[in-house]
Amino acid sequence: MKIFKRLIPVALVALLLLGGFQSVFAQKAPTVIPEVVSSQGMVASAHPLASQAGLDILKAGGNAVDAVVATAFANGVVEPNANGLGGEGYIVIYRKAENKATSIDYRSRASFNPPKEGEKWPNPGHRGVAVPGTVAGLAMALEKYGTMSLSQVLQPAIKIAEEGFVVSPTLAGVISDNFKRIMQNDYLMSIVAPDGLPLEAGDVYKNPDLVKTLKLLASEGADAFYKGEIARLLVDDMKAHDGLIDMNDLAQYKAIEREPATGLYRGYDIVSAPAPVGGFLLIQSLNMLENYNLKFLGFDSAMKLHLFAEVLARAFDDYYNVLGDPDYVDVPMKALTSQGYADAKAKSIKLDAMTSKYDKVDPNSEHWSTTHMSVVDKDGNVVALTQTLSSFFGAAVAAPGTGIILNNEMGNFNGKKGTAAYAPGKRMNTTIAPTLIMKDGQSFATLGTPGAMRIVPTLAQIVTNMIDYGMGIQEAIEAPRMYCTYLQGPGKTTMELEGALFPKKTMDDLALLGYKIKSYDNRDLYFGGVQGIIIKDGQLYGGADPRRDGAVFGY
Amino acid sequence: MKRFILACAFIAALSASVFAQQSTAFAEKPALVTSIGQSADFEMIKVLLNRAKVPYTADSLVKAEKLDGSAKTLILVVGASSKGLGAAGISAEAELVRTHALLKKAKELKLSIIVMHVGGAARRGAMSDSFIKPCMEVADYAIVVASGDEDGLFTDLAAKAKINLAKVDRISAAGTPLAASFK
């Protein structure tokens, strides 16, 4: 109980000292990866070749949307485990000239063909595959807000796919970790384990069928994927393996432009991806955190980490109980992102004791493999894009002749009830949250991360690292992270964190508060791979995550 | 110059001993292969054993009481995976208890023990090392992918246990010393 006596006075003081400090956003500590600074344009992604693809498009006169689409296609080649043509995503775009933000939902959706009664969506396997949205989403972004043709922005991806690329230790580790699932699909084995064992770091990864598919998209457009030759190959593979997706499912797929989810955190506008994904969770978490002076609590104190656990648990309650496909259920996005709702939720938080059970607040009264890329162009247009296959290597199946690895998004319906429950043609919930931050009508930052359920906790930490602790982007990305979104009371709640990078006292204090600790030896891929760019005083500051193969290029 | 040549000769001699492979086949068939740490590396060793045509039984969670002497060689695929442990429904602590019991029974049954660590640097760290150390203490032979021994842990443990250590550059190359160790 000694810790409580020590914490209570500090807590009371902290609660009284809200706000009132100046952030600097300058790198103050040395980083593993140097922060990148430029002035004209910048691309941050999870792979150097993908970032280079986007930068080449910017230099060729393309805007941020052209560049992010090129980066996304290229990233689908070099991070085949995390995204690609068989996956999906969400993009948030800010257009400087119109001073307007928008978002494009290219989440995958369930087939209209019903499952067997009581069927659980499998992983691995074809029945776990949802209708992919990547091609439709990127094509829509390009058509509405880009300046280049699909063929132009596909060229870097085609070149990388034709030449092959060197497998990084990160990719080698992911292939190895997922080998048991991969082994069950001969065609996928032929791509990532061509001699019967996983490709290793330093090997050259080639996928000749994907080259053909990308060239077909370049020459025939998105219809080749949803109605043409690629669609036929995908459906043939589905038929051969009892999959649900048919030609009608593909032909009916549409990307959807949506109003972004928005909020305000300490004077910064947060613009993120709306339902059915996780942007509102980030905004709601930040709204709750705004009630506390984080700087006073300290970056690495047990009390601050405990506060995050309390806040995130309250936010994630809505992920499980309120979120759903807005085309199928009513999602009160305005209420979910309102300050009043967050304040009501935060009232039950105690800084010196863990919550075992908390009262739900009615939102209507006020409420494990992905990748992210961020782009800023010379005209001040800013984009955040996150896309995924759900699990690493998705459903661990690839469609012969296409080189396309297919998602396992249907698994996101497993065990879900209410607003998140399965329905034919419905988009499933997920936590991806590509996010833009604005200050006084000007772009301030673009960021996002993979990491499944760690996405929102990680982004909340990055945003507060920048805004509350004044860290530069690279420093904010490299700072140690925690994850805890489910409180069951002292002795029953596990907090996962990069424990080796936190002070021993913090770990001891968390244990005294009743947390079971799962500590990681170093920065770990488990906590995501953030890519981000800060825009300040006419300069661009780019950060990439050493937890993954992140790379930032600017000019 | 003389000093340089001597130094080179010394380093070459040292390297030769570090990379020493088992000169004679010592392990009897059939083998029992298990995971120590529940990483996916277990699957790769099964591929290598199939290629080497070594008859084996695979049980990633085999317990000491299941060892009955029918398998003559125990192959331990060492390296921790949090995800793998979670999927197998076993904690790191319980995995370590299983390991110690397994090693004790294997020694009682006088089984040959081969340690295989093919996950490189990614399968090192506090949790993995806690599995590696007890296994290396009782092993008769160890085969490791060299990137997992950059700090010399396996080299040191092999020297202490007075066993041969085969270091290979990649997973597929681990098949040669593995096949050669069987009679």
Distance of CA B182 to the CA centre of its chain: 14
Instruction: Check residue B22 and give its pLDDT.
Output: 60
CB contact under 8 A, B119 and A176: yes
Model confidence pLDDT, tens digit, residues B45-72? 999 999 999 999 999 999 999 999 999 9
At the fourth CATH level, the homologous superfamily of domain A2-20+27-34+273-353+433-554 is Gamma-glutamyltranspeptidase, small (S) subunit (3.60.20.40)
Q: B171 in contact with A at a CB cutoff of 8 Å?
A: yes
Q: Counting Cβ atoms within 10 Å, is residue A453 exposed (0-12), middle (13-18) or buried (19+)?
A: middle
Instruction: Check residue A362 and give its pLDDT.
Output: 62
CB contact under 8 A, B47 and A197: yes
Instruction: Check residue A9 and give its pLDDT.
Output: 44
Beta-strand relationship, A261-265 and A256-258: unpaired
Closest chain B residue to A496 measured between Cα atoms?
B82
Token pair for residue A125? 């396997």
- SS3 percent helix, strand, coil of chain A, rounded to 5, is 40, 20, 40
Closest by Cβ to A177, choosing from B40, B51, B147: B40
Instruction: Check residue B3 and give its pLDDT.
Output: 55
Q: How many of the other CB atoms lie within 10 Å of CB of A393?
A: 31
Which residues sit opposite A45 in a β-bridge? A551
Place of tokens 């025939």: A220
Residue ranges of domains in chain B: 2-180
Q: Are B135 and B141 in contact (CB under 8 A)?
A: no
In which order are the strands placed within the sheet that holds A36-38?
A: A36-38, A539-544, A531-536, A442-448, A435-439, A268-272, A261-265
Q: Which residues of A touch B127 (CB under 8 A)?
A: 521
Size of interface A-B (CB pairs under 8 A): 41
Closest by Cβ to B43, choosing from A179, A521, A526: A179
Q: Which residues of B touch A179 (CB under 8 A)?
A: 40, 43-44
Instruction: Check residue A117 and give its pLDDT.
Output: 87
**Test mutation, A123, A175, A177, chain B, max B CBs within 10 A:** A177
Q: B101 in contact with A at a CB cutoff of 8 Å?
A: no
Instruction: Give every residue of chain A whose pLDDT is below 70, as ranges.
Output: 1-28, 358-368
Closest by Cβ to B171, choosing from A200, A518, A522: A200
CA dihedral (A45, A49, A50, A55) positive or negative? positive
CB contact under 8 A, A526 and B172: no
Closest by Cβ to A180, choosing from B43, B119, B120: B43
Closest by Cβ to A169, choosing from B82, B122, B126: B122
CB contact under 8 A, A198 and B39: no
Residue ranges of domains in chain A: 2-20+27-34+273-353+433-554, 48-258+371-420
Give backbone dihedrals phi and psi of A388, rounded to 5 degrees, phi first.
Answer: -155, 165
CA dihedral (B97, B102, B105, B111) positive or negative? negative
Angle between helical axes of A339-346 and A302-321 (0-180°, round to 10)? 120
**Across A419-522, where does the E strand assignment appear?**
435-439, 442-448, 482-483, 493-497, 515-519
Token pair for residue A147? 């300046």
Q: Are A93 and A63 in contact (CB under 8 A)?
A: no
User: From the CA of B125, how many Å to the nearest CA of chain A?
Assistant: 7
CB contact under 8 A, A200 and B170: yes
Instruction: Check residue A21 and give its pLDDT.
Output: 39
Q: B119 in contact with A at a CB cutoff of 8 Å?
A: yes
Beta-strand relationship, A493-497 and A539-544: unpaired
Instruction: Check residue A548 and give its pLDDT.
Output: 85
Provide the annotated active-site residues of A.
370
Q: Which residues of A touch B41 (CB under 8 A)?
A: 176
Q: How far apart are CA A69 and CA A104, in angstroms?
A: 12
Place of tokens 């409420």: A367
CATH number for the region B2-180 comes to 3.40.50
Instruction: Give every residue of chain B whose pLDDT is below 50, as ranges.
Output: 1, 8-19
Closest chain B residue to A200 measured between Cα atoms?
B170
Closest chain B residue to A171 measured between Cα atoms?
B122
Give backbone dihedrals phi and psi of A236, rounded to 5 degrees, phi first.
Answer: -55, -45
Place of tokens 């994850």: A483
C-alpha count within 13 angstroms, C-beta hemisphere, residue A481: 28
CB contact under 8 A, A178 and B119: no
Please give the ipTM for the structure prediction.
0.81
- SS3 percent helix, strand, coil of chain B, rounded to 5, is 50, 20, 30
Q: Are A244 and A127 in contact (CB under 8 A)?
A: yes
Q: Which helix (H) or strand (E) holds A9?
A: helix A2-16
Closest by Cβ to A197, choosing from B82, B122, B172: B172
Nearby residues of A93 by Cβ (< 8 Å), 6 or more positions away: A64, A65, A101, A102, A103, A104, A141, A145, A381, A382, A383
Q: How many of the other CB atoms lie within 10 Å of CB of B97?
A: 14
Q: Which of A479, A439, A450 has its CA nearest to residue A462?
A: A479
CB contact under 8 A, B172 and A195: yes
Secondary structure of residue B106 in the 3-state scheme = helix
**Test mutation, B35, B39, B41, B47, chain A, max A CBs within 10 A:** B47
Token pair for residue A314? 């309250």
Q: How far apart are CA A72 and CA A59, in angstroms?
A: 17
CB contact under 8 A, B122 and A179: no
Instruction: Check residue A481 and give its pLDDT.
Output: 98
Q: Which residues of A touch B121 (CB under 8 A)?
A: 169
CA dihedral (A291, A296, A298, A299) positive or negative? positive
Q: How far apart are CA A415 and CA A438, in angstroms?
A: 37
Q: B38 in contact with A at a CB cutoff of 8 Å?
A: no
**Test mutation, A123, A176, A392, chain B, max B CBs within 10 A:** A176
Token pair for residue A88? 């999906």
Give backbone dihedrals phi and psi of A58, rounded to 5 degrees, phi first.
Answer: -60, -45
Model confidence pLDDT, tens digit, residues A499-526? 999 999 999 999 999 999 999 888 998 9
User: From the CA of B84, how many Å to the nearest CA of chain A?
Assistant: 8
